[in-house]
Amino acid sequence: MIEVVNVRKSYRSGDRQVEALRGIDCRIAKGRFAFIVGPSGSGKSTLLYLLGGLDRPSEGSIRVEDQDLTTMSESDMNVFRRDKIGFIFQAFNLISNLTAIENVLVPFLPRGLTPELKQRASELLTQVGLGDRLDHRPYQLSGGEQQRVAIARALIKDPILVLADEPTGELDSRTGDEIYRILRRMQNVRQTTLVVVTHDRRFITPDDLVLEIQDGQLKSDGLVEAQDDLAEAEIGFEPRLSRSNLLEGKDFIDDGPN
């Protein structure tokens, strides 16, 4: 699903060259929950942004579902990102003068809104527990609620891949649990592939793929796991549920309070 081959990324700042990624190889099968972990400055966000086509590697190639991000034109890349990738950031990146439902609909604003889209946005917000907050603006929402709006915004396009950069970094642990419950449900029900950067390993389960990055390189155990994953991909990773079962409306209802 995602194939990263010998990816390097260097930044030039002034006369200094920073080698943020120094030869990354990994493969992430469809429907996987993958975590990128490692110390501050090790290159986690850089890798995540490259996977989402927000930036291009200096060397190497990245394929996401048979699309080669490294050779795609700028405009194809924009369309790919807009239609296929859901981004969730640590700082929720909501637009402050728009309501919750308008923020969810932001990806579609350039193309115009339809009643169906508005209905879908409202359903998604209901599914993340914000059915009674549709017309609240970000300052009228708690941090966890804002993050759930950001998740609904990432989901409305039914992305094949969701990329999250420390999605619970600014939330208390209970709210963090809730955010991960929503993300897990996405993985299980919608077969979405998730790649999440985190400093908090307590959300990682034994089934997850862990890519441990240090100094711009994957540590060996990360590589071993990535290889296991490759084997799994080659024998055919069984989807838990087909994508045709998606979007029936009931796919995302929460179990209620834990």
Ligand X SMILES: Nc1ncnc2c1ncn2[C@@H]1O[C@H](COP(=O)(O)OP(=O)(O)OP(=O)(O)O)[C@@H](O)[C@H]1O
Among 2, 45, 120, 121, interactor with ligand X by CB under 6 A = 45
Least separation, in Å, of the C-beta of 201 and Mg ion?
A: 16
Give the closest residue to 121 by CA, choosing from 92, 138, 100: 100
Long-range contacts at 182-188 (CB < 8 A, ≥ 24 apart): 182/128, 182/148, 182/151, 182/252, 182/254, 183/33, 183/151, 184/33, 185/252, 185/254, 186/155, 186/162, 186/252, 187/31, 187/32, 187/33, 188/240, 188/241
Residue number, 85 or 121, with CB nearest to ligand X: 85
Residue 83 partner contact from ligand X, Mg ion, none using kind-dependent CB cut-offs of 5 to 8 Å: none
Residue number, 89 or 252, with CB nearest to Mg ion: 89
Among 21, 26, 45, 196, interactor with Mg ion by CB under 5 A = 45
Q: Residue 41 interacts with ligand X (CB under 6 A)?
A: yes
- Which window, 17-25, 42-50, 103-111, 241-249, contacts Mg ion (CB under 5 A)? 42-50
Least separation, in Å, of the C-beta of 44 and Mg ion?
A: 5
Residue number, 88 or 128, with CB nearest to ligand X: 88
Residue number, 77 or 124, with CB nearest to ligand X: 77
Do 93 and 106 touch, CB atoms closer than 8 A?
no
Q: Residue 13 interacts with ligand X (CB under 6 A)?
A: yes
Least separation, in Å, of the C-beta of 41 and ligand X?
A: 4
- Spell out the alpha helix ranges (H) of the chain: 44-51, 74-84, 100-104, 115-127, 143-155, 173-190, 220-235
